[in-house]
Amino acid sequence: MKRARNVVLLSLAGLLTACGGSGDNAPATGTLNLGITDGPVNYADDVVIVLSHVVLVPESGGDPIVFDYLQDEGEERSIDLLEVQGAKAEWVVTERELPVGNYDVCAYIIQGDGTESTSHVNIDGGTFSLSTPSGGSCQGFKPDTGDQKPARLKFNRESTVTVNTGINQFVIDFELSKGLVDNRHANGNQTDFKIKPNAVTLVNAGGAGIIRGTLSDTQFGACEGDFSSLLGATEFRHAAYLYADSRDRTTMGDIAGEEGFPTDSPLVEPVAVAPINEVEVEQEDGSTATELKYEFGFVGEGIYSIGYTCVANADQPDTHETDADGFAIYQHYTPVEVKADEETIQDLDPIL
């Protein structure tokens, strides 16, 4: 049941009419778009969430606004997170006119049971269940789901959107490299894969920028050669790590999980990780060539740094790894400035 659609669906736009009457006393309104995007893992074939409901609860009071995908579209919305990487998003609420103000946002997924009709991970030729710790109700409201077993996605940090006049765009951003936990070999009664709350963030996409770039073949080969001899690496996975502020690789840490870094450590965690993929690019003469590319989408304005490594496979989401464990950042690039609604190019070339 793999259906990821990176298009704006207008079927939900007119389902619910905005509050308010006509004339001068009508409340100010704005338009809300809400999407799903992902900073992916690249060891799975599919990571699919089956979205059953999105609920918006006005902080000022009033009835919740409920998007029920089974009722509205005839089936739950199945989204392969690996198909909405970088600046791509699947928009699950589109052109919804709302009174201006703050809204608590809750998204419910169908917990995995090992089949492709529920949330699941396809890997190594098998289909495995995918779940998230249930967050229960949405400010006291819980959608009626009958025999289904949905769970509310817990967001890292904020779960509120502010609707202003004009167009407002937010995305639910999955950072699976931080919080997709493989429990297949764990002891006890656990589902096969779990999405931790630190992997899901509600992001204001209005005024966000994009960072993208190309990894040079020279840098690719140098990293594998050096880390083969320095770290004893025999397997490689190339990735770009994004860090807040301007910094060098001496403070660029791995994904440390709940364990965190030692108290005296200068390391910080990345805010996002992007795989470096082979992409076919058309040349001026009409031929195509394979290039190594990465992309960070929906990045807020500010100064960032990028760390490049070819041993991202050694970085585990629940523990802190060092060079003794086979993980290190090979090269850093700083400062990388992101401006609203602009694209920043940062190629990963050798720095002499």
37 band by pLDDT with thresholds 50, 70 and 90: very high
Q: What is the average pLDDT across 35-57?
A: 89
Q: Are residues 69 and 82 in the same domain?
A: yes
19, part of any domain: no
4 band by pLDDT with thresholds 50, 70 and 90: very low
Tell me which H or E stretch contains 90: strand 90-99
Of 173, 206, 239, the residue that ends a domain is 206
Give SS3 for 297: strand
Sign of the dihedral defined by the CA atoms of residues 79, 81, 82, 87, in that order: positive
19 band by pLDDT with thresholds 50, 70 and 90: very low
When divided into structural domains, the chain yields a total of: 2
pLDDT at 18 over 70: no
pLDDT at 1 over 70: no
Q: Are residues 51 and 113 in the same domain?
A: yes
Q: Are residues 93 and 219 in the same domain?
A: no
Q: Are residues 198 and 224 in the same domain?
A: no
The predicted model scores a pTM of: 0.80
**pLDDT top residue among 313 and 26:** 313
196 band by pLDDT with thresholds 50, 70 and 90: confident
Q: What are the C-alpha distances in Å from 267 to residues 7, 25, 248, 333?
A: 39, 54, 10, 16
60, part of any domain: yes
pLDDT at 158 over 50: yes
- Exposure string over 76-115, b if 16+ CB within 10 A, otherwise e: bbbbbbbbbbbbbbbbbbbebbbbebebbbbbbbbbbeee
pLDDT at 156 over 90: no
When the pLDDT of each residue in the chain is averaged and rounded to a whole number, the result is: 87
11, part of any domain: no
190 band by pLDDT with thresholds 50, 70 and 90: low
pLDDT of the residue at 24: 52
Q: Are residues 144 and 282 in the same domain?
A: no
Q: Are residues 221 and 304 in the same domain?
A: yes
In this structure, of 1-10, 84-93, 101-110, 160-169, the range with the lowest mean pLDDT score is: 1-10
Indicate the pairing of strand 65-68 with strand 46-58.
antiparallel
Neighbours of 65 (CB within 10 A): 19
Of 185, 206, 227, the residue that ends a domain is 206
pLDDT of the residue at 2: 38
Of 156, 178, 206, the residue that ends a domain is 206
Neighbours of 328 (CB within 10 A): 24
* Owning domain of residue 312: 210-345
Q: Are residues 217 and 202 in the same domain?
A: no
290, part of any domain: yes
Q: What is the average pLDDT across 130-137?
A: 84
pLDDT of the residue at 188: 59
pLDDT at 3 over 50: no
Q: Are residues 64 and 100 in the same domain?
A: yes
Q: Are residues 152 and 97 in the same domain?
A: yes
pLDDT tens readout for residues 244-291 = 999 999 999 999 988 889 999 999 999 999 999 999 988 888 888 999
Give phi and psi for 228, each to the nearest 5.
-65, -45
Q: Are residues 61 and 126 in the same domain?
A: yes
10 band by pLDDT with thresholds 50, 70 and 90: very low
9, part of any domain: no
Give phi and psi for 102, each to the nearest 5.
-100, 145
- CB proximity list for 50: less than 8 A, separation 6 or greater: 1, 76, 77, 78, 79, 109, 110, 117, 118, 119
pLDDT at 191 over 80: no
pLDDT of the residue at 26: 61
pLDDT at 81 over 80: yes
Q: Are residues 170 and 48 in the same domain?
A: yes
199 band by pLDDT with thresholds 50, 70 and 90: confident
Q: What is the DSSP letter of 8?
A: -
189 band by pLDDT with thresholds 50, 70 and 90: low
1, part of any domain: no
pLDDT of the residue at 187: 59
Q: What is the DSSP letter of 326?
A: T
20, part of any domain: no
Q: Are residues 216 and 161 in the same domain?
A: no
12, part of any domain: no
Which residues face 65 on adjacent strands?
Answer: 56
